[in-house]
Amino acid sequence: VTQFTKKGAIVSDKTPNTTSRRSFLRGASLGVGIPVVGGLLAACTQQLAPTPGAPAVQMQHEEPAAPAGQMTFDEMDAMHEAGIKAFVAGGQTATLGNQPLEPRLDGNVKVFDLVCSKVQWEVTAGKFIEAWTYNGTMPGPEIRVTEGDTVRLVVTNNLDESTAVHPHGVMVPNNMDGVPFVTQPPIKPGETFVYEFVAKNPGSHMYHSHHNSTKQVGKGLLGAFIIEPKNKAQDPAYDLDYTIIMNDQNGGFTFNGKGFPATAPLTAKLGQKVRIRYMNEGLLIHPMHLHGLPQLVFARDGWNLPQPYMCDTVNVAPGERWDVIVDCSEPGVWAFHCHVLSHAENDHGMFGMVTALIIS
């Protein structure tokens, strides 16, 4: 029996570990662990329902690695395994960022109400940080419209400093560009500002603060702004659509506002094609590496490439969006992480920018 303390340290009896992280993942990827994959999928569907009384395992990047020599190899392995087990159990946080926001209709205008406010945001199980948010989540809600739609963003500032919203990558009239003292006055605390424009250029875009932005975007004032093309045939065909928004300030290294093991896995059925939209809202580059399966890169910053190409690591610089297709041709649990290794793993196990593509 292995027990977990609140700080993530592990108290174990003499029972030897029979499944290391590597053999666990290897078994799954070789196909001998299909029941394991099924179990993972079952666990993932329960992700929004934290297990009552489940151990709080914290794998935080701020946690200083124990000095060399203070952990035995078994202790180190046990900490690595604990992180994987927590991920499989569903990460154990109750909130999700980047959730679809249904617009209300004013005539033919799609209206999205965005309220800027501070909340306590759970980055990993039990670890809360102060986040500055749109509508209470980090990232803010996903705004998704269709090319040609008229879009209105009604932004109310309930923060205690001014702000503004920049539709990043979206082609808008100059006065809708969201840069204080360049295209508009700042939205002061208590004020509301209305942005309205026609969504012209389809693709994967973002919206974020453009005021005191190192702090405000870092704190969480960011989100996905997706414009679907009128002609869907202009993109490669896909069955599932995932977005991974990266940030590297508030709460450490995060995908969609969560650090491993609280990150959400991507799940797919064998043979499906998965579209992944990478969006980097951080200060650092994040080369996204998927194990086992190549990525077909077909768009950058919302613009389809004249010549799509295959790779296994897609470097995503700050401000960039890259769209890829993964052909899920091999079942298993495929590790999927930023390949700046200090954003993903240390003595205490995997943390931060780590998730998995689970194909069953």
Q: Does 56 bind Cu ion (CB under 5 A)?
A: no
CB of 353 to Cu ion, least distance (A): 5
Distances (CA, A) of 161 to 82, 118, 138, 183, 262: 41, 11, 18, 18, 30
Find the shortest distance in angstroms from Cβ 173 to Cu ion.
35
Position 337 contacts Cu ion (CB under 5 A): no
Among 127, 208, 289, 343, binds Cu ion (CB under 5 A): 343
Q: Whose Cβ is closer to Cu ion: residue 123's or residue 338's?
A: 338
CB of 83 to Cu ion, least distance (A): 17
Stretch in the footprint of Cu ion (CB under 5 A) among 58-66, 112-120, 182-190, 279-287: 279-287
CA 207 to the chain's CA centroid: 15
Instruction: CB nearer to Cu ion: give 158 or 342.
Output: 342
321-327 and 295-300 beta bridge pairing: antiparallel
CA torsion angle 304 306 312 317 (round to 10): -60
| Number of residues this chain uses to bind Cu ion (CB under 5 A) | 5
CA 15, 16, 20, 24 dihedral sign is negative
80 near Cu ion, rule: CB under 5 A: no
Asked if 340 touches Cu ion (CB under 5 A), the answer is yes
Question: Which one of residues 82, 125, 227, 338 is an interface residue with Cu ion (CB under 5 A)?
Answer: 338
- In angstroms, what is the minimal distance from the CB of 340 to Cu ion? 4
Residues contacting residue 49 through CB under 8 Å, at least 6 positions apart = 90
- The yes or no reply on residue 279 touching Cu ion (CB under 5 A) is no
Q: How far apart, in whole angstroms, are the C-alpha atoms of residue 282 and residue 248?
A: 5
CB-closest chain residue to Cu ion:
338
Pick 61 or 211: Cβ nearer Cu ion: 61
For the bound state, the minimum distance from the C-beta of residue 139 to Cu ion, rounded and expressed in Å, comes to 16
Closest to Cu ion by CB, 132 or 278? 278
Structure tokens at 164: 């503004």
Q: Which stretch binds Cu ion (CB under 5 A): 75-83, 144-152, 309-317, 330-338?
A: 330-338
Nearer to Cu ion, 163 or 346 (CB): 346
What's the closest the beta carbon of residue 169 comes to Cu ion, in angstroms?
A: 21
Pinpoint the alpha helices (H) of 122-245.
Answer: 213-219
Q: Which of 115, 111, 112, 155 is nearest to 132 (CA)?
A: 115
Taking a C-beta distance cutoff of 8 angstroms, is the pair 53, 6 a contact? no
Kindly write down the DSSP assignment for every residue of 224-241, as one continuous string: EEEEE-SSGGGSPP-SEE
By CB under 5 A, residue 289 contacts Cu ion: no
Residue 286 sits at φ, ψ, to 5 deg, of: -140, 95
Decide: is 127 part of the binding site for Cu ion (CB under 5 A).
no
In the 3-class helix/strand/coil scheme, how is 272-294 assigned residue by residue?
CEEEEEEEECCCCCEEEEECCCC
Q: Applying CB under 5 A, does 244 fall inside the site for Cu ion?
A: no
Give residues in contact with Cu ion (CB under 5 A).
286, 338, 340, 343, 353
